[in-house]
């Protein structure tokens, strides 16, 4: 309620908000892909494939793969796609917390003030886990159960979306504070209205054709308008 209403011609999604959506979307996509690649390349319990083998999986030959220390069957493993799906779900839950306020920090408006949002997030995560750990549902969705180490990776890749949005919110707050300074307002002179004041402090000069009328300020006790011209 402390903010003035939006202008009638202001779009719902302005340029800055669109930029924020793009940045957050790029991070979500990068984190999802990183979770998929992490299982194949870096996970200690994974196949730890070389990058070349991962990029040429469609032409994998079993004999050459066995010689290199892995099997082509690893490319049909359900765990990397499950990690990617889980990152996509959890990162959006963190992003829901980001959207408690458009520009205020999440640390200034704690999420527990919105119990309905927390209930919705908890329900979404519970449904995701139900699908993952209930075998018929997991088979239906083509995913599988994850272990503790894999869940740690999911959270580690998802949580930084809060930091990304906090930086964007900080930039937005600084820009708003700079725009609110008197010297930055449109019209100049610090009066915020752009109407030139007369040399005397008793009124405003309002040009009306060839006649200048001195309009007294309220309580100023100025002289009567000169109509002799």
Q: Which pLDDT tens digit goes with each residue over 196-229?
A: 444 444 444 444 444 444 444 444 444 455 555 4
Closest CA to 138 of 74, 87, 76, 78: 78
Residue 167: pLDDT over 70: yes
Instruction: Specify the range with the lowest mean pLDDT, choosing from 15-24, 118-127, 154-163, 179-188.
Output: 179-188
Contact 31, 158 (CB under 8 A): yes
Q: Which domains, ranges and CATH numbers included, belong to the chain?
A: 15-180 (1.20.1110.10), 195-229 (no CATH)
The 10s digit of each residue's pLDDT in 59-75 is 888 888 888 888 888 89
């Amino acid at each position: 309620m402390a903010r003035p209403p939006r202008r009638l011609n202001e779009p719902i999604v302005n340029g800055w908000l669109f930029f924020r959506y793009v940045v957050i979307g790029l991070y979500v996509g990068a984190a999802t892909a990183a979770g998929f690649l992490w299982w194949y390349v870096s996970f200690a319990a994974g196949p730890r494939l070389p990058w070349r083998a991962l990029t040429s999986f469609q032409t994998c030959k079993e004999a050459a793969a066995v010689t290199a220390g892995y099997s082509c069957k690893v490319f049909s493993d359900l765990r990397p796609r499950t990690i990617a799906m889980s990152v996509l779900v959890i990162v959006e839950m963190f992003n829901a917390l980001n959207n408690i306020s458009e520009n205020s920090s999440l640390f200034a408006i704690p999420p527990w003030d919105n119990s309905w949002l927390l209930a919705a997030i908890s329900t979404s995560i519970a449904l995701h886990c139900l699908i993952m750990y209930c075998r018929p549902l997991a088979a239906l969705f083509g995913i599988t159960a994850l272990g503790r180490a894999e869940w740690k990776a999911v959270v580690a890749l998802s949580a930084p979306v809060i930091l990304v949005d906090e930086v964007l919110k900080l930039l937005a707050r600084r820009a708003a504070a700079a725009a609110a300074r008197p010297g930055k307002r449109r019209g100049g002179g610090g009066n915020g209205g752009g109407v030139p004041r007369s040399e005397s402090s008793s009124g405003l000069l309002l040009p009306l054709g060839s006649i200048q009328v001195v309009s007294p300020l309220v309580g100023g006790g100025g002289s009567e308008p000169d109509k002799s011209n």
